Amino acid sequence: MDLDALGQCVTTASCLVTQTTSGLIAGLLLFLVAAGLTLIFGVLKVVNFAHGTFYMLGGYIAFTTLQVTGSYTLAVLAGGAGMAVFGVFFERVLIARVYGQDVLMQLLVCYAVVLIFDDVVKMVWGADFLAMGMPPAFQVPPLFIAGGIVPPFYAVLIGIALVIAIALAAALGRTRAGKTVLAAAQNPSMVSALGINTDRLFALVFAIGAGLAGLGGALAAPVRSLTPGMGFSVLIDSFIVTVIGGMGSIGGALLAAVGIGLIRGFGTIGFPTFTDGLIYAAMIIVLLLRPTGLFGREVI
């Protein structure tokens, strides 16, 4: 624990800017992934314990796409789209067979997928840490804001993440398909009674959820290292976001995700090895004081 360093950083503009931006990045990326998890859980009532695997595969696919094509845009699209397709496949082949069953079964099926793909990644890409590195387009001098170093990539990343978040909110709230998804989240049986093809709806939801996680992974790849098993901590964080933000609240998820991101950002200075612990502790405290989460409506 290093509270002096923490205090110093908070009072120094440059450090404040640097850590805040990196915290924002972490938070917004986490929001993307967590939004996917919440969507899947809200509509399908399935805990996608394999969600971290989508994040991981999104990152790795982006990595290879960048190597092959040299275009980061393509890499991001490949990560997101690839995972959307994989998500449909995963849902149709595996999850569809455990709907309505014990939580135990669902958890085990997802856990199996995590195990399998952690090893698949090891086989294809190797077990070592991989660094995607900053894509060529972003290998430009950093911006200096109030003395703090902000790589332009960060700024772009924040922008992209916000755009995606807004687009997601709009798509869910305004398009017919989106409203169906939201309605299904409220009342799944009603939706099937209305004659809507639930098979396709569920596959769509998984596609969006997995795609979001894949996007998160692809966008994070330049600033994180890739390693098999990296999906797990993102999964736990995503779930903590859902718990703290409240079930069914996108706004709450955004707040919680950014909060966690900032805790990580400043935590690495003040509590370098215990940042995870801090976040778990925060979740437990929120649960004890406010059982519905910050903005949730039903008690967890």
Instruction: Give least dist CB 10 to other proteins, A.
Output: 22
Total chain residues near other proteins (CB under 8 A) = 40
Q: Which of 107, 171, 182, 196 binds other proteins (CB under 8 A)?
A: 107
Q: Which of 116, 166, 170, 193 binds other proteins (CB under 8 A)?
A: 116
| Size of the chain, expressed as the number of residues it contains | 300
Site for other proteins in 254-273 (CB under 8 A): 273
With 0-12 / 13-18 / 19 or more C-beta atoms within 10 angstroms meaning exposed / middle / buried, residue 21 is buried
For other proteins, the closer CB: 151 or 209:
209
Q: Determine the residue type at 85.
A: V
81 near other proteins (CB under 8 A): no
The region of 9-17, 167-175, 198-206, 276-284 touching other proteins under the rule CB under 8 A is 276-284
- Rounded Cα gap, residues 40 and 45, in angstroms: 7
194 near other proteins (CB under 8 A): no
- Rounded Cα gap, residues 28 and 209, in angstroms: 15
With 0-12 / 13-18 / 19 or more C-beta atoms within 10 angstroms meaning exposed / middle / buried, residue 187 is exposed
Instruction: Give least dist CB 277 to other proteins, A.
Output: 4
Q: Determine the residue type at 131.
A: A
For other proteins, the closer CB: 77 or 182:
182
236 near other proteins (CB under 8 A): yes
Instruction: Give least dist CB 76 to other proteins, A.
Output: 28
- Rounded Cα gap, residues 30 and 259, in angstroms: 10
Query: Would you tell me how many other CB atoms lie within 10 Å of the CB of residue 139?
Result: 11
E strand or H helix at 277, and its extent? helix 275-289
243 near other proteins (CB under 8 A): yes
E strand or H helix at 143, and its extent? strand 143-145
What is the binding site for other proteins (CB under 8 A)?
Answer: 41, 47, 94, 97-98, 102-105, 107-109, 111-116, 118-120, 122-123, 232, 236, 239-240, 243, 273-274, 276-277, 280-281, 283-284, 287-288, 291, 300
